[in-house]
Protein backbone atom coordinates (compact mmCIF):
# COMPACT_ATOMS: atom_id res chain seq x y z
CA UNK A 1 0.00 0.00 0.00
CA UNK A 2 2.94 2.32 0.39
CA UNK A 3 4.38 4.60 -0.76
CA UNK A 4 1.65 7.04 -1.76
CA UNK A 5 -1.26 4.60 -1.40
CA UNK A 6 -0.75 2.21 -4.29
CA UNK A 7 0.78 -1.20 -4.80
CA UNK A 8 2.84 -2.58 -7.64
CA UNK A 9 2.63 -6.25 -8.57
CA UNK A 10 4.49 -8.07 -11.30
CA UNK A 11 2.90 -9.41 -14.47
CA UNK A 12 3.33 -12.98 -13.29
CA UNK A 13 1.35 -12.31 -10.10
CA UNK A 14 -1.38 -10.11 -11.60
CA UNK A 15 -3.80 -12.80 -12.76
CA UNK A 16 -3.75 -14.75 -9.51
CA UNK A 17 -3.89 -11.62 -7.37
CA UNK A 18 -6.93 -10.30 -9.23
CA UNK A 19 -8.88 -13.57 -9.63
CA UNK A 20 -10.81 -13.48 -6.34
CA UNK A 21 -11.38 -9.72 -6.36
CA UNK A 22 -14.83 -8.25 -7.09
CA UNK A 23 -15.44 -6.77 -10.55
CA UNK A 24 -15.90 -3.37 -8.91
CA UNK A 25 -12.13 -3.25 -8.38
CA UNK A 26 -11.78 -2.67 -12.14
CA UNK A 27 -11.54 0.97 -13.19
CA UNK A 28 -14.79 1.99 -14.87
CA UNK A 29 -17.01 -0.64 -13.22
CA UNK A 30 -19.41 1.29 -11.05
CA UNK A 31 -22.63 0.24 -9.36
CA UNK A 32 -24.75 0.24 -12.52
CA UNK A 33 -22.33 -1.78 -14.65
CA UNK A 34 -21.58 -4.12 -11.74
CA UNK A 35 -25.34 -4.80 -11.57
CA UNK A 36 -25.33 -5.65 -15.29
CA UNK A 37 -22.42 -8.04 -14.80
CA UNK A 38 -24.17 -9.55 -11.76
CA UNK A 39 -27.30 -10.22 -13.85
CA UNK A 40 -25.02 -12.10 -16.24
CA UNK A 41 -23.63 -14.12 -13.33
CA UNK A 42 -20.27 -12.33 -13.22
CA UNK A 43 -19.12 -11.25 -9.77
CA UNK A 44 -15.35 -11.77 -9.69
CA UNK A 45 -12.46 -10.75 -11.88
CA UNK A 46 -11.55 -14.43 -12.19
CA UNK A 47 -14.85 -15.05 -13.98
CA UNK A 48 -13.91 -12.35 -16.48
CA UNK A 49 -10.44 -13.88 -16.91
CA UNK A 50 -12.04 -17.15 -18.03
CA UNK A 51 -14.06 -15.45 -20.77
CA UNK A 52 -12.97 -14.98 -24.37
CA UNK A 53 -12.22 -11.44 -25.53
CA UNK A 54 -14.71 -11.70 -28.39
CA UNK A 55 -17.51 -12.81 -26.06
CA UNK A 56 -16.88 -9.87 -23.74
CA UNK A 57 -16.82 -7.45 -26.67
CA UNK A 58 -20.07 -8.84 -28.11
CA UNK A 59 -21.80 -8.50 -24.75
CA UNK A 60 -20.36 -5.19 -23.56
CA UNK A 61 -18.84 -3.44 -26.57
CA UNK A 62 -15.76 -1.31 -25.94
CA UNK A 63 -16.10 -1.91 -22.20
CA UNK A 64 -15.83 -5.64 -22.90
CA UNK A 65 -12.40 -5.09 -24.42
CA UNK A 66 -11.39 -3.04 -21.39
CA UNK A 67 -12.68 -5.78 -19.05
CA UNK A 68 -10.68 -8.39 -20.94
CA UNK A 69 -7.40 -6.52 -20.57
CA UNK A 70 -7.82 -5.04 -17.09
CA UNK A 71 -8.95 -8.39 -15.64
CA UNK A 72 -5.57 -9.74 -16.73
CA UNK A 73 -3.62 -6.83 -15.27
CA UNK A 74 -2.96 -5.34 -18.72
CA UNK A 75 -3.21 -1.57 -18.41
CA UNK A 76 -1.25 0.91 -20.50
CA UNK A 77 -2.40 4.01 -18.63
CA UNK A 78 0.50 5.94 -17.13
CA UNK A 79 0.81 6.11 -13.35
CA UNK A 80 1.54 9.54 -11.89
CA UNK A 81 2.32 8.85 -8.20
CA UNK A 82 3.19 12.47 -7.41
CA UNK A 83 -0.03 13.90 -8.87
CA UNK A 84 -2.64 15.20 -6.43
CA UNK A 85 -5.41 12.69 -5.80
CA UNK A 86 -8.69 13.42 -7.61
CA UNK A 87 -10.59 11.31 -5.09
CA UNK A 88 -9.96 9.24 -2.02
CA UNK A 89 -11.56 5.87 -1.33
CA UNK A 90 -11.06 2.87 0.88
CA UNK A 91 -11.73 -0.77 0.07
CA UNK A 92 -11.43 -3.84 2.22
CA UNK A 93 -10.30 -6.98 0.41
| Distance of alpha carbon 46 from alpha carbon 44, whole angstroms | 5
Which pLDDT value is given to residue 86?
58
| Distance of alpha carbon 70 from alpha carbon 76, whole angstroms | 9
Residue 53 lies in a domain: yes
Residue 81 lies in a domain: no
Number of separate domains in the chain: 1
Instruction: Extract the residue ranges of the chain whose pLDDT is less than 50.
Output: 1
Which pLDDT value is given to residue 10?
79
Which pLDDT value is given to residue 85?
60
Burial class (CB in 10 A: 0-12, 13-18, 19+), 88: exposed
- Where do the DSSP E strands lie in 1-93? none
Please give the backbone phi and psi of residue 22, each rounded to the nearest 5 degrees, phi first: -70, 155
Which pLDDT value is given to residue 9?
76
Which pLDDT value is given to residue 71?
94
Which pLDDT value is given to residue 12?
75
What domain range includes position 65?
Answer: 22-71
Amino acid sequence: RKPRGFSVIGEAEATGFLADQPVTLIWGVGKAFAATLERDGIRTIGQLQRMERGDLMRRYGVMGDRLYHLSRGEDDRRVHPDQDAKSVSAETT
